[in-house]
Amino acid sequence: MALRCIYSDMRKVRKVILLIETSRAYGRGVLRGITKYSRMYGPWVFYSEPGGLEKALPKMRHWGADGIIMRDSGRGSAALKLGVPIIVSVHLKQHIKGTPFIDTNGVRIGRMAAEHLLDRGFRHFAFCGFDDLHWSRNRCENFSKRIAKSGFETAIYKQPRSRAKRLWENEQVVMVDWLKSLPKPIGLMACNDDRARHVSEACKVAGLHVPEQVAVVGVDNDELVCELSDPPLSSVALNVERGGYEAAELLDKLMARRRAAHKDIIVEPTHVVTRQSTDIMAIEDSETVEALRFIRQHAKEPIQVGDVLKAVPLSRRALQKRFRRVLNRSVHDEIRRVRNEQVVTMLTETNLSISRIAADFGYGGIEKLSRYFQREKGLTPLEYRKRYGKK
């Protein structure tokens, strides 16, 4: 009888094929989320191949998998033939019809990168991506839209058509010429951190200084890639781990044949991690720059406009006029915006209680923090953490 119970329990273990790359932070984040869900609601046993995404499926046909989470590699059609639930992490191609997918929110990513550069006072903008990848085009479109909303244009890099010329040793020459042709100083968004590193290296070859002439922001916040670059790269952080967790949760329902509405997993950006590649104010007005620097340095304190005035030799009216001209907002609006952005970092990157965060920023309590935060973000701090924070 005991043996029968043990055998019954063993049959409940789910077998899940994972064809997700581990060479980049995005893939590792997805895998961390899947593993976290498995530990809480499993057990699951995983099949993965360190040799690469293209080599795995032929060896797994007789493994008896219950489900698959995979990148959209060339083995997608073969995976569909296995007849088990599949969730696809989109990268190379568009979505597979009828199959749930994991993708990123290109609208918010593009907008967040644009606002990061606009907040630094840039008036010239550019985008560099991969022409054949839909997620890169999506980020470019939404970055350009947000820049246009502020009255500026975006110069968009076009890759060479020839495959041979797209090899980095050949394409670098093309990118160098393009970067030299751009007006300076310029704020540039790259579609991801790898592309941002390409831009940074091309700037060196072109004799252009980052960030003084070309400020560069990438996407993914892959710490290894960002720190390998010289100077280190700023990047839009994505809550990939949460996406992996939600994908595993959905797959669990599909494998159990439980009713599950067709749901696509959208990985959201949380904030921009600022490093040296955008750590600059592209503003010629030195007093305005000094006021902005003071606000950033003292954002955790409950500072007011009067505190900022003590740091610069300007009257209240003169400072307000310069902020309106340069940033199109008041000094008070800038203080509130910077404080809220730092609260966002605390909500998404730490497990500190909201009451502790409120105390750290000098708010009288959660209610006051929530009122100010919701005015800026449209969500309370708790709602924001639930939607964009770690699972």
Report domain extents, the chain: 2-103+240-268, 106-238+272-278, 286-388
The CATH number assigned to the domain with range 106-238+272-278 reads 3.40.50.2300
Highest mean pLDDT pick, 56-60, 188-192, 317-321, 372-376: 188-192
| CA gap 341, 296 in Å, rounded | 10
| Listed range (90-104, 188-202, 287-301) with the worst mean pLDDT | 90-104
CA distances from 267 to 35, 66, 141, 249, 273 (A): 17, 24, 18, 14, 17
For residue range 218-245, list pLDDT tens digits in order.
999 999 999 999 999 999 999 999 999 9
CA distances from 90 to 69, 134, 287 (A): 11, 10, 46
What average pLDDT score do residues 305-310 get?
Answer: 93
Q: Is the pLDDT of residue 52 over 60?
A: no
The CATH number assigned to the domain with range 2-103+240-268 reads 3.40.50.2300
Concatenate the DSSP letters of all residues of 151-169 into one string.
T--EEE----SSHHHHSHH
Using pLDDT thresholds of 50, 70 and 90, give the confidence band for residue 357: very high
Helix (H, G, I), strand (E, B) or coil at 268: coil
For residue 6, count other CB atoms closer than 10 A to its CB.
10
Helix (H, G, I), strand (E, B) or coil at 324: helix
Q: What is the pLDDT of residue 55?
A: 56
Instruction: Tell me if domain 2-103+240-268 and domain 106-238+272-278 are identical in fold.
Output: yes
Q: Is the pLDDT of residue 95 over 80?
A: no
The verdict on whether omega for the bond into residue 85 sits within 30 degrees of 0, i.e. cis, is no
| CA gap 102, 89 in Å, rounded | 4
For residue range 105-161, list pLDDT tens digits in order.
999 999 999 999 999 989 999 999 999 999 999 999 999 999 999 999 999 999 998
Q: Which fold has domain 286-388?
A: Arc Repressor Mutant, subunit A (1.10.10)
Can you say how many angstroms the Cα of residue 362 is from the centroid of all Cα atoms in its chain? 29
| CB of 105 closer than 8 Å to CB of 267 | yes
For residue range 146-172, list pLDDT tens digits in order.
999 999 999 999 999 888 888 988 999
Query: In the chain, what is the straight-line distance between the N-terminal and C-terminal CA atoms, in Å?
Result: 39
Q: Is the pLDDT of residue 175 over 70?
A: yes
| Mean pLDDT value across the chain | 88
| CA gap 124, 363 in Å, rounded | 37
Q: What is the pLDDT of residue 1?
A: 43
Q: What is the pLDDT of residue 64?
A: 79
Q: What is the pLDDT of residue 263?
A: 78
CA distances from 343 to 171, 224, 372 (A): 41, 25, 11
Helix (H, G, I), strand (E, B) or coil at 202: helix
| CB of 280 closer than 8 Å to CB of 117 | no
Q: What is the pLDDT of residue 73?
A: 66
What average pLDDT score do residues 10-30 get?
Answer: 84
Output phi, psi for 128, to 5 deg: -130, 120
Q: Is the pLDDT of residue 7 over 50?
A: no
Q: Is the pLDDT of residue 8 over 60?
A: no
Q: Is the pLDDT of residue 179 over 50?
A: yes
User: Hey, which bits of the chain come out as E strands?
Assistant: 14-19, 44-47, 67-71, 86-89, 101-104, 125-128, 154-156, 186-190, 214-219, 234-238, 265-267, 269-273
Q: Is the pLDDT of residue 294 over 90?
A: yes
Using pLDDT thresholds of 50, 70 and 90, give the confidence band for residue 9: very low
